[in-house]
Structure 1
Amino acid sequence: MAGDEKAQAKTEQAKGKLKETVGRAVGNERMTAEGRMEQSKGDARQAKEKAKDALRD
């Protein structure tokens, strides 16, 4: 389960980065903001998983 969550976090981060980059390239501020938001969600998910891992050890 934890590996699944970590993979999902990485996917959200990558998807967000791509969306942000495309948004900047085409000048779409909304897409850029959505990309940043997805990256933040991925970062938060990753931090949560790291905290869980730290508590397990």
Structure 2
Amino acid sequence: MGLDDKLKNTAEEKIGEAKEATGKATDDKDLEAEGKADQAKGALKQAGEKVKDAFK
């Protein structure tokens, strides 16, 4: 279960990067902000997974 979560979190970060890049390229500030938010959410979830791993 931990590996699946880590993969999903990494995927969420990568999707966020793509959204941010697309937003910058098309001058879509909303899409750019959404991409940044997705990246932050994925990174926060990754940090949570690392904390859980530390206590195993």
Counterpart-to-counterpart distance in 1, 2:24 and 2:55: 39
Runs of 4+ in 1 over 2 A off after TM superposition: none
* Structure 2 residue 52 is the aligned partner of structure 1 residue 40: no
How many residues are matched? 56
The aligned residue for residue 2 of structure 1 is 2
The amino acid that maps onto 2:22 is: V
Q: What is the TM-score with the length of structure 2 in the denominator?
A: 0.98
What is the RMSD computed on CA atoms of the aligned residues?
0.4
Could you list the runs of 5+ residues in structure 2 that have no partner in the other structure? none
TM normalised by structure 1 equals 0.96
